[in-house]
Chains A and B, each alone.
Chain A
């Protein structure tokens, strides 16, 4: 029988639908069969030594003069010196082989180690001079501008020797902290535009691949100055947008480790993985003194007494971390434990100060939504309510929150502050803590006593002078009460048990140079 053209088309359509369904069934069935047969198949991770895969939710930036993302920067760059990861401030030669202070403490002569950048070019004194010039310009190197303020000039004495001349006699700890924070970068690459997407250092690892929000692959730098390190041939950071997905990836073996995890996962992961606590940062309650009601110092002091650090540590940080009263880590020489008692949680004292302040009894706290700071603020909110102060919490998406924070639009917030290392004057690095009109808490009205105390701490040479200066700085910080310390917030890593040697330095930057996997 011969089909008409219409029948042929209908038959062809039927055949197409029938074949399509059959093909669809086969395609769908294959993965099910495949899934049943493959057993423990996993992507990434694996047990191969020499390569590890770490998951993270952090965003990457490559310019060490701008970044405070800390997961990879120590892998790309060598700093002039290192501190041990245990929080002690004993300098270890790194990019600098040795250094010698002038007797009058008005200069230091640094001898660079013989080393090569990833490009193959040698590390020379001129690179340090270029780097110092960039660091001195607040518009080009914001992170390093304040710590570099004590340097008058840098001069290349010879290809491997550089001399830094100070504006005034400067204490050794401040210079050592600066050397610890100063990355070696080739002169030709040391601009924000060039470093924005391509790191150019001499650190233990080189950039092998970077795929936006997917992966960053580091490969061993064969010319790293320490000949036997790094031990790993390759490190892959895999980016996750969701922390729960990251933990699931870790538990299923898709990644060998998870970096900078939330504390809520710690207990569950403790049995199966090695948990590593990094030095971390500090959580602080900031009040904006340029906006009512926190332009009232007595009110700020009242709020400071209503912060229950122990409860926050127990309930938000799951017992991980230590209480702080302002932005000094317990390892800082300026840390005075007694302030935790004399200016600690006391609702009666807070209530009394609130009465005396005579100020408004209502404020709004901005906060990044989804962060542990929300839970911290809820505890503070509940305690303030008991003394008759209404604190409303307004969570915002992170980009919007940062925008409002830097524009001084928030009345108060809970935010992080980095470690100030062994130089207490470095407390003035953060935007809320600057001694200039760029201070987002005070603008042009930074308390003169604070400016003077920071300057004194940066100039105290002898141990006696340092003791006096640090005590005065503490007194001013507690009296002005705009940056109320809550607790340290250590960084948390969960690693496959075969991984050893992963640490963070005192800035909380991951150091992989001694890591084995």
Chain B
């Protein structure tokens, strides 16, 4: 188990360094001058040059990367070109909003996906099974941003039940306000992700139900409900956990479009704005955080495998 953990941690570090180099290279490949965006179209060439020097953009790309990675290893991701605030502070300001949205979206995903997946796997020809199969097809086919706009038009603009644009309201301070502000973007995300998750669950559960040990359990007289809960669902859950882990990682850095549609002040929107403003320091720090989070979640998924399936620990 420890060897497994150490191996995974080493992989984590290597991928993180490679990811940071890739992000750096891609960011600098973008056309557009940060100083020009920062000072606006009326700034003079002298002002632009002075700003480039102040931002440390006058060195070579390699020099800038080495300087940045050196500071990053010491926990200093630099300061935002635009706001002047430390990048860490900017990220910490947005991470709670993103975590809250991701949490809500994941809860909704599981609440929808688990029963839908089970019904589709076990009762595919029932009315509910057919309806749910239709939901899975629609959920996968409908673009998330389009569904978001539809939810806004119906629930916010027409019915006025929920706000079209969402502020971040901390859950622990105002649970009702937090739910009201977050439910629409979370639902827009969850419809798609629940369709993916339910499909995975349905497929693996369908496979498991045909296994010998299920037949054995039934032959032993174990009630069907317990056969499903104790034997089938547990064994079918491994691929589902994988996809849930990947989706959670995606939520933490990849809800840019939904955050833009709902004007939600999360990490994705911050990075989107930072890219538009060529705020390299913030883009680097933000993407590094997203990559690290994604890797960490992958690591947790792997460890979760080991917990759920002892055979993995032993290999």
A residues sitting closer than 8 Å to B (CB atoms) are: 13-14, 21, 24-25, 27-32, 34-36, 38-44, 55, 59, 61, 66-69, 138-140, 142-143, 145, 192, 196-197, 211-214, 238, 240-242, 244-246, 248-249, 251-255, 396-400, 402-404, 406, 431, 438
CA distance A503 to B155 in the complex (A): 33
CA distance A29 to B187 in the complex (A): 12
Given known A213-B265, A245-B261, A400-B31, contact A66–B276 (CB-CB < 8 A): no
Docked-complex contact A24 and B263, CB < 8 angstroms? no
Given known A34-B176, A249-B263, A253-B160, contact A241–B273 (CB-CB < 8 A): yes
CA distance A42 to B160 in the complex (A): 8
* Listed A/B pairs (14) with beta-carbon separation below 8 Å: A31-B183, A36-B161, A38-B176, A42-B163, A43-B166, A139-B47, A238-B263, A242-B260, A245-B263, A252-B152, A254-B156, A399-B32, A399-B276, A402-B36
- In-complex Cβ contact of B149 among A36, A213, A244 (8 A): A244
Which 4 pairs of residues, A with B, have the shortest CB-CB distance? A399-B32, A139-B46, A31-B179, A400-B31
- Extra inter-chain contacts (20) besides given A24-B111, A38-B176, CB under 8 Å: A24-B110, A25-B111, A30-B179, A31-B104, A35-B161, A41-B162, A43-B169, A68-B41, A138-B46, A140-B44, A142-B43, A192-B47, A212-B85, A238-B263, A241-B273, A248-B157, A248-B164, A251-B157, A402-B37, A404-B31
The minimal Cβ–Cβ distance linking B279 to chain A, given in whole angstroms, is 9
Q: Nearest residue in A to B184 (C-beta to C-beta)?
A: A35
A residues in contact with B41, CB < 8 Å: 68, 402, 406, 431
Given known A66-B39, A398-B276, contact A27–B107 (CB-CB < 8 A): yes
Docked-complex contact B111 and A68, CB < 8 angstroms? no
The minimal Cβ–Cβ distance linking B239 to chain A, given in whole angstroms, is 16
CA distance A197 to B40 in the complex (A): 13
Docked-complex contact A21 and B114, CB < 8 angstroms? yes
Given known A31-B180, A43-B163, A245-B263, contact A399–B33 (CB-CB < 8 A): yes
A residues in contact with B33, CB < 8 Å: 399, 403
What are the interface flags for B85-111 relative to A under an 8 Å C-beta threshold, 1 for contact and 0 otherwise? Answer: 100001000000000000010011011
Docked-complex contact A143 and B261, CB < 8 angstroms? no
Docked-complex contact A406 and B164, CB < 8 angstroms? no
Contacts of B137-185 to chain A: CB distance below 8 A: 149, 152-153, 155-157, 160-167, 169, 175-177, 179-183
CA distance A516 to B145 in the complex (A): 36
Docked-complex contact A212 and B273, CB < 8 angstroms? yes
B residues sitting closer than 8 Å to A (CB atoms) are: 30-33, 36-37, 39-47, 80, 82-85, 90, 104, 107-108, 110-111, 114, 149, 152-153, 155-157, 160-167, 169, 175-177, 179-183, 186, 230, 260-263, 265, 269-270, 272-273, 276-278, 307
Q: Nearest residue in A to B93 (C-beta to C-beta)?
A: A211
Given known A245-B262, A399-B278, contact A252–B40 (CB-CB < 8 A): no
CA distance A457 to B20 in the complex (A): 56
The minimal Cβ–Cβ distance linking A395 to chain B, given in whole angstroms, is 13
Q: How many A-B residue pairs have CB under 8 A?
A: 186
Given known A28-B108, A38-B180, A400-B30, contact A242–B175 (CB-CB < 8 A): no
A residues in contact with B161, CB < 8 Å: 35-36, 38-41
Docked-complex contact A238 and B108, CB < 8 angstroms? no
Docked-complex contact A403 and B269, CB < 8 angstroms? no
The minimal Cβ–Cβ distance linking B198 to chain A, given in whole angstroms, is 15
Docked-complex contact A67 and B40, CB < 8 angstroms? yes
Q: Nearest residue in A to B114 (C-beta to C-beta)?
A: A21
CA distance A34 to B175 in the complex (A): 10
- In-complex Cβ contact of B157 among A197, A252, A397, A400 (8 A): A252
Docked-complex contact A240 and B108, CB < 8 angstroms? no
A residues in contact with B80, CB < 8 Å: 212
CA distance A404 to B307 in the complex (A): 55
B residues in contact with A35, CB < 8 Å: 155, 161-162, 179-180, 183
CA distance A68 to B160 in the complex (A): 36
CA distance A66 to B111 in the complex (A): 52
- In-complex Cβ contact of B36 among A139, A240, A397, A406 (8 A): A406
Given known A43-B181, A197-B84, A254-B163, contact A68–B40 (CB-CB < 8 A): yes
Docked-complex contact B32 and A403, CB < 8 angstroms? yes
CA distance A191 to B98 in the complex (A): 37
Given known A399-B278, A402-B37, contact A139–B167 (CB-CB < 8 A): no
CA distance A237 to B43 in the complex (A): 25
A residues in contact with B186, CB < 8 Å: 31
Docked-complex contact B163 and A252, CB < 8 angstroms? yes
B residues in contact with A40, CB < 8 Å: 160-161
The residue among A38, A61, A139, A213 with the most chain B CB atoms within 10 A of its own CB is A213
Q: Nearest residue in B to A192 (C-beta to C-beta)?
A: B47
Given known A41-B180, A143-B42, contact A254–B31 (CB-CB < 8 A): no
CA distance A245 to B166 in the complex (A): 10
CA distance A35 to B230 in the complex (A): 35
- In-complex Cβ contact of A249 among B149, B165, B269, B270 (8 A): B165
Docked-complex contact A245 and B164, CB < 8 angstroms? yes
Q: Nearest residue in B to A245 (C-beta to C-beta)?
A: B263
Q: Nearest residue in A to B233 (C-beta to C-beta)?
A: A17
A residues in contact with B30, CB < 8 Å: 399-400
Q: Nearest residue in B to A212 (C-beta to C-beta)?
A: B83
Q: Nearest residue in A to B190 (C-beta to C-beta)?
A: A28
A residues in contact with B84, CB < 8 Å: 196-197
B residues in contact with A396, CB < 8 Å: 31
Docked-complex contact B180 and A213, CB < 8 angstroms? no
CA distance A124 to B165 in the complex (A): 44
Q: Nearest residue in B to A41 (C-beta to C-beta)?
A: B180
CA distance A197 to B165 in the complex (A): 26
CA distance A138 to B45 in the complex (A): 9
Docked-complex contact A252 and B156, CB < 8 angstroms? yes
The minimal Cβ–Cβ distance linking A495 to chain B, given in whole angstroms, is 17
B residues in contact with A438, CB < 8 Å: 45
CA distance A432 to B309 in the complex (A): 69
Docked-complex contact B164 and A399, CB < 8 angstroms? no
B residues in contact with A43, CB < 8 Å: 163, 165-167, 169, 177, 180-181
The minimal Cβ–Cβ distance linking A53 to chain B, given in whole angstroms, is 10
- In-complex Cβ contact of A214 among B37, B40, B42, B265 (8 A): B265
CA distance A431 to B183 in the complex (A): 47
Q: Nearest residue in A to B279 (C-beta to C-beta)?
A: A212
B residues in contact with A55, CB < 8 Å: 165
Docked-complex contact B47 and A66, CB < 8 angstroms? yes
Docked-complex contact A21 and B110, CB < 8 angstroms? yes
B residues in contact with A25, CB < 8 Å: 111
Docked-complex contact A212 and B82, CB < 8 angstroms? yes
The minimal Cβ–Cβ distance linking B195 to chain A, given in whole angstroms, is 16
Q: Nearest residue in A to B168 (C-beta to C-beta)?
A: A214
A residues in contact with B110, CB < 8 Å: 21, 24
Q: Nearest residue in B to A27 (C-beta to C-beta)?
A: B107
CA distance A250 to B295 in the complex (A): 39
CA distance A74 to B110 in the complex (A): 50
